[in-house]
Chains A and B, each alone.
Chain A
């Protein structure tokens, strides 16, 4: 009976936790993250309003590259250990099907918030909204794509 409980618990846990990885375009980065600002509902920003700066790239290297790789190919040092590989930010096939608001929310609230893998954590208390918007712009730069 006990054994059955743990087997079932294990399956449930696996179902919840497996799948770390992929999605949400995320960002973490390299620079002094601005402290989280109160999060308002994600509004689709125009990337051009939040240009990619040197600070954006540093921020990406500092936080995002751990999983997504220094060049955004989804091959960061954590990638081999995740059940689901981190998103390759250079691939337009998937990213053009996601809106900027979707990417923004994925970064701020984490993978689960956008129905993707739970390995992508929430950065809402680490990256302020402006930085997050600029990271969305950077992902657009990496994939050379815009939302359809």
Chain B
């Protein structure tokens, strides 16, 4: 009876050692087959020259599962000028093309794997309610005027048209794409995810962090809000 247990523990240990973090699933063969490592980083540390697509080692913290599975089957452009590591980024002519299309089974398998990649030790649910229309206008002023987020990120204007800069990822469908807990942590301390980004660092107070998170999560293509 002791031997099987030992085997089990050894197996779990090996799995952790191979995958890098306690909850991560083993990398499916699909990752190698699709050459995901060519463009994406699956671990922190120096990026390879060609790794000019978003980091995935915290994909499970960042993305909503439903969105991710759909994206892998129907890729869309989120960074209009490419990732900041793309050699063509500053020229607005990214070298990286549209993401490869996966079939439904591949997308399901890949999503399960990516959602298991996390760096946050704990990420308690935020349970933030949607902003009222009036509060949304107030936070919009913070977003556009006080913190200048609009200079680099597309968001909705008052008539729900995209407006804003393109060097950062578009926020147009952020409410379906991102997990609010990740948005909150990113705004609080982006260095928990990337060593150095092109976004200014801010020292938001708790209230502002939550308000901005709520505001970003309001951006949904399929839900104009009330």
Query: Which residues of A are interface residues toward B (Cβ below 8 A)?
Result: 6, 9-10, 13-14, 16-17, 20-21, 28, 32-33, 35-36, 61-63, 65-67, 70, 76-78, 81-82, 110-112, 118-123, 125-126
Name the one of B133, B145, B166 contacting A17, with C-beta atoms under 8 angstroms: B145
B92 lies within 8 A of chain A by Cβ: yes
Q: Beta-carbon contacts of B114-158 to A below 8 Å, as 1s and 0s?
A: 000000000000000000010001001100111111111010001
Q: Is A78 a contact of B148 with CB atoms below 8 Å?
A: no
Q: Is A81 a contact of B90 with CB atoms below 8 Å?
A: no
B73 to chain A, nearest CB (A): 29
Q: Which residues on B sit within 8 Å (CB–CB) of A111? A: 148
Q: Which residues on B sit within 8 Å (CB–CB) of A14? A: 158
Q: Is A13 a contact of B165 with CB atoms below 8 Å?
A: no
Complex Cα distance, B163 from A17, in Å, reads: 12
22 pairs, A vs B, C-beta closer than 8 Å:
A13-B137, A13-B141, A13-B158, A21-B151, A32-B196, A33-B196, A35-B201, A62-B198, A66-B152, A77-B90, A77-B166, A81-B154, A81-B163, A112-B146, A118-B144, A118-B145, A121-B200, A122-B147, A122-B148, A125-B200, A125-B201, A126-B200
Q: Which residues on A sit within 8 Å (CB–CB) of B147? A: 121-122
B13 lies within 8 A of chain A by Cβ: no
Q: Is A78 a contact of B202 with CB atoms below 8 Å?
A: no
Given contacts A63-B198, A70-B90, A118-B148, 16 further A-B contacts (CB under 8 A): A20-B144, A20-B150, A66-B165, A67-B152, A77-B91, A77-B92, A77-B166, A81-B154, A81-B163, A81-B165, A121-B148, A121-B149, A121-B200, A122-B148, A122-B200, A123-B200
Name the one of B133, B145, B151, B158 contacting A67, with C-beta atoms under 8 angstroms: B151
Q: Is B148 a contact of A120 with CB atoms below 8 Å?
A: yes
Q: Which residues on A sit within 8 Å (CB–CB) of B203? A: 125
Q: Which residues on B sit within 8 Å (CB–CB) of A70? A: 90-91
Q: Is B151 a contact of A120 with CB atoms below 8 Å?
A: yes
Q: Which residues on A sit within 8 Å (CB–CB) of B92? A: 77
Residue of B nearest to A31 (CB): B196
* Shortest 7 CB-CB contacts between residues of A and residues of B: A78-B165, A121-B148, A17-B144, A119-B151, A66-B167, A125-B201, A77-B92
Complex Cα distance, B89 from A13, in Å, reads: 31
B164 lies within 8 A of chain A by Cβ: yes
B214 lies within 8 A of chain A by Cβ: no
Q: Is B158 a contact of A82 with CB atoms below 8 Å?
A: no
B213 lies within 8 A of chain A by Cβ: no
Chain B interface: which size bin?
20 to 34
Q: Given contacts A67-B151, A78-B165, A120-B148, are A17 and B90 in contact (CB under 8 A)? A: no
Query: Which residues of B are interface residues toward A (Cβ below 8 A)?
Result: 81, 89-92, 133, 137, 140-141, 144-152, 154, 158, 163-167, 196, 198, 200-203
Q: Is B165 a contact of A82 with CB atoms below 8 Å?
A: yes
Q: Given contacts A66-B152, A81-B164, A120-B151, are A76 and B90 in contact (CB under 8 A)? A: yes
A10 to chain B, nearest CB (A): 5
Interface-central residue, B92, B146, B154, B198, by most chain A CB under 10 Å = B198
Q: Which residues on B sit within 8 Å (CB–CB) of A122? A: 147-148, 200, 202
A108 to chain B, nearest CB (A): 11
Q: Given contacts A10-B158, A13-B137, are A61 and B148 in contact (CB under 8 A)? A: no
Complex Cα distance, B139 from A142, in Å, reads: 36
Interface-central residue, A14, A21, A118, by most chain B CB under 10 Å = A118
Complex Cα distance, B166 from A82, in Å, reads: 10
